[in-house]
Every structure is written in structure tokens, then in C-alpha cells.
Amino acid sequence: WILTYSQKGWSLNEERRHKAHYWRAAKVKEWRAKFKELAEEAKIPHMDAIRIEVFTTFATRRLQDPANNLPASKAAVDGLVDAGVIEDDVPTLLKSITFHAGTYDKGNDSVSLLVIDCSDE
């Protein structure tokens, strides 16, 4: 399953600049809710274990390093937990998160999660 939110994810660097807790809390709430909604719309079933691959697009040529998208991706994974895709995001259930290098897509910001069932591993 591929779930895409057409918004720019916030970065570790951005999160460190905003020291106010309410700023981060509002972002986490938005992203958790959106990815919960996307998972429910896609009818992703409950799985015993998953792997996640994160893909980002940027509206400008100013790309960030792949792992800099961690805060937005973490909130998105929490949305999958909220949707019941996995019970929790502990290592026995969330086997890995792979961050792919972002790509330029003029005028389009997005974060996509590829959700891979690895219950049989």
C-alpha cells in the first residue's frame, strides 16, 4: 500500500528551530490524523509486522537529506497505529523504516509511505 500526503513534511532541523511544544504537537496531531484517514480509506488490514519505506517530493530544488524527514514520518507511522494497521510501532512489529532520497517535483510537496506486510518474516 502507498499512502501519500501532499504536504511538505517538517524536518528535524525545522523542529529544532521551533522550541515551542505547541508547534510540534499541532504538526504531530495533523499528520497522525491524516495518515490514519489515508490508511482507513485504503482499507489496509491489520498486520502482525510491517516495513515502511518513505519517499518525499519537494516543490523546489532545495532537497533535504533523507533522514531529515524523520519527525513527519514518525507521526505518519503513529497514524498507522491509530488506524490499527499494527498494534504498536515497537521493533517486533515495525521491522524497519527506510528513507529514500527526496526528489524534485516542481510545485509538489509530498510524503509517501510504502507499507509492506512482513508478517511471515
Q: Are 31 and 76 in contact (CB under 8 A)?
A: yes
20 pLDDT band (50/70/90 cuts)? confident
C-beta of residue 34 within 8 angstroms of C-beta of residue 74: no
pLDDT at 21: 80
* Mean pLDDT of the chain, nearest integer: 92
Instruction: Name the pLDDT band for 118 (thresholds 50, 70, 90).
Output: very high
Q: What is the pLDDT of residues 21-45, one digit of tens each?
A: 888 889 999 999 999 999 999 999 9
- pTM: predicted TM-score of the whole model, two decimal places: 0.91
Residue in this structure with the C-alpha cell 491509530, named with its chain if needed: 82
The pLDDT of residue 15:
79
